[in-house]
Amino acid sequence: MEFSIRPATRDDCKDLARMVRDLADYHEITEYVTQTDLEQDGFRENPCFHAFIAEVPEQHKSKDGYTKIGFALYVFSYSLMYSRSIVLQMLYVMDEFRGKGVGKALFKKVAQEGVAAGCRQLTFKMSHWNKSALGFYVSQGCQDDTTEMGLHLMSCSRDVMERLDQS
């Protein structure tokens, strides 16, 4: 199947939002996803995120008429253990285009971006129940740091952050 991977632009925000909603539905986390201003957050002087878009030619569009069929959203981070890192926040491919190499191409593109930026590590999180994704990432050479390094993913909600700010 013919497809291309390219950096996302402002014009992709509507499709990015659509695919983020689809991904949230798939993971049954719709109530946790707040729709931010993707255009403001991703396409300003110092963007909060970067993304790649997977696109097919018009003649291969989805059954619903979409040519933008997947995306990888990533950020850069810094760790004292690894120095510069690239963090894959989301990788999504529409159902009807899965198993055709699109996800692998998006993942590879993020890895290439990390190498070009001098990153020493690519990190990401995934749902514990998503065995197909786990198999995919392991097949790419990734390791599960939960078991390998005994790390836990921790977070603080906005309410906690505000409470800390006020104390």
Residues forming the active site: 137
Half-sphere exposure of 83 (CA within 13 A, CB side): 6
CB 110 within 8 A of CB 71: no
Q: What is the CA radius of gyration of the chain?
A: 17
DSSP single-letter state for residue 118:
T
Question: How far, in Å, CA of 77 to CA of 118, rounded?
Answer: 12
Q: For residues 42-71, b (16+ Cβ closer than 10 Å) or e, as one string?
A: bbeeeeebbbbbbbbeeeeeeeeebbbbbb
